[in-house]
Amino acid sequence: MNYLEITKRSLDKGLLSHVGKVPEQTMLARLAAQAKRSRDRKLVVTARDTFALSDWMLPEDPDALAVTGIVEPNAEEGLPALRPTERHPEPRAEYLRAIGRQAERNRRRDDDGKRRKLPPVAEVAFEVLSEVGGLVPNELIARLKARDLVDDLGTLSLLEALADDNQQRIDQGRRPQFTAIRTDANELQLSAETSAPENGPLPLQTQEAFCKAANLPFENGKVVLRSHRRKDEPAAAVVASSPEDLALVQTARLGVKDARRAMARVLRKKLSELDTGTFEKACVKLLHANGFRELKVARRAKDGALLSARKKEGSLELRFAIRIARGSGQVERRTVQELRRDVGQVSANLGLLLTPGEARNDARAEATGSGALVMLWCGDHLSEKFFDAEVGVSVLRVELFEIDEAFFEQARADADEAHKRREERHREKDGRRDDGEAADAREGDSEPAATPPAASPGASAPAQASAEGDEGDDGDDEGEEGAEAAGAPGEGGEAGEGGRRRKRRRRRRRRGGAEGAPGQTAEGAPRASESAPPAEGVAVAPPPPASAPRAEPVSEPAPTPAPPASSGDAS
């Protein structure tokens, strides 16, 4: 079909996700880019600007392929203008409404008022780079905007989109299609790899070189995009890792996939060489392993048998008409049509075809066409069914490991939480210690001064002064006992007050009270028992035993004794 007819039918059926300024030219450029691919090509050029599907096996015209997609210059463009260019456009109301941001919003929307869908950046960039070769990012963005394939696209967004496409292809076991190098002038140049080199670098090395040239972080064999970074992680954080180790891991991963494909081809060849009975029994064991029950032979043929079976799928129990065909011949549309007729004859819901041969495209289209659905287990896919059911093969487990970033993120969060709990416990402990010291200080400041016991009426004034000095002595309990003994008998309050003072003094000693604290007096103060004779009728305690000679008196002057009491007071 010519590209004009393809464009017209696509627009009529609404198959295009976006429409450029000139839909025909856009369609021609896209089809020509697909036809010029060296791999994954689905179109061939049979004549100039005429395309066909590669599955149709039509001959390709190399001369037409070389000139397809080249736009011929318009002869009328070189002619002089019919009238001079107007300086100002014609004033209209829609021009006044569509100014500023409103014009940009209108340009991004289609006729139905919905937001215009744009193709992936990597896809359109590959097409442009395949046509013109290497380009710098700014020039590539300009070409994409000129074709109206992108809206607002920055350099960093473009590079991340291309790197992300490369990473997805590597994860799928394919080669990346974008490369980047730095020129002698330190200018970044992007290009599309249209041909797979025989002895080229590994896919992981190609991606690493792309990220290095584009100044993108490359960590653990993968590119780190802005959406994948943590908020507290710097943009240029790159973990130093050995490229050889990462290349070995990637090679092992790709080797496992290649080994599975190779073994599938080996098993397919083995199945095609089996005789009819052996192949039929192998397929019956495979069906039993996949949940098929009540297998019965409905009809036998030279190349295989027709079976009926049941299989439970959720709440439904489906009936199958199963055709087992040996041999390596290709499956044609006629085979699928015959199986669909057998589905109606055995009153089945679905059809299933098992054969080592490969299914052609017309057979695949017929299997999903109108009528009963026919499932095809053909070619390498039949081998994959044997692999999944582990029937006819012995499994050798190969363990490949990858770093679990979520595990380390959780460990980091747990460590931060534990650190916060430790700091909180330390703060609480320091707060309790400060509160205890403050309470002790308030208790020491709030203790009332020691009040000397009242002297008896018969005691003289010097005796009262001596008693006051003994009561205020912090380091001598005997002076206090003498003062209590000098008191009047029967006054229990005085004895209780002295006991409380002793407890307070012991508590201050344990805290290491400072020298000269309140309540301490000079050693040279006279005692109450030595200053004056006791009055009549007053019980006096015996003097304390002689002790070791006292130390030198402190510098504080001794209190001045009170004047002697008058005779009237003594009486």
Position 511 scores a pLDDT of 74
Please tell me the predicted confidence (pLDDT) of residue 114.
56
pLDDT at 520: 47
Q: 91 is written with which tokens? A: 């004033």
Alpha carbon distance 405, 175 (integer Å): 25
The structural architecture, per CATH, of the domain 268-389 is 3-Layer(aba) Sandwich (3.40)
Per-residue pLDDT of the chain (571 residues; tens, 9 = 90+): 888 899 888 888 888 776 667 888 888 888 888 888 877 788 889 988 899 998 888 888 888 888 887 777 777 777 777 777 666 666 655 555 544 555 555 555 544 455 567 788 888 888 888 888 788 888 888 888 888 777 778 888 888 888 888 888 888 878 888 888 888 878 888 888 766 555 667 788 888 888 888 888 887 777 887 665 554 444 444 444 566 777 788 788 888 888 888 999 999 999 988 888 899 999 999 999 999 999 999 888 777 789 999 999 888 899 999 999 988 888 998 999 999 999 988 889 999 999 999 998 889 888 988 888 999 999 999 999 999 999 999 888 888 888 888 888 899 999 999 999 999 999 888 888 887 777 777 776 655 544 444 444 444 444 444 444 444 444 444 444 444 444 444 444 445 667 788 888 888 877 765 444 444 444 444 444 444 444 444 444 455 554 444 544 444 454 555 555 444 444 3
Instruction: Give the residue carrying structure tokens 């206090």.
Output: 480
Those residues with Cβ within 8 angstroms of residue 563's Cβ, 6 or more apart along the chain or in another chain: 461
pLDDT at 448: 52
Give which of 503, 500, 465, 497 is closest to 484, Cα–Cα.
497
How many Å apart are CA 59 and CA 454, to the nearest integer?
134
> Tell me, what's the pLDDT at 24?
85
For residue 113, the 8-state DSSP code is S
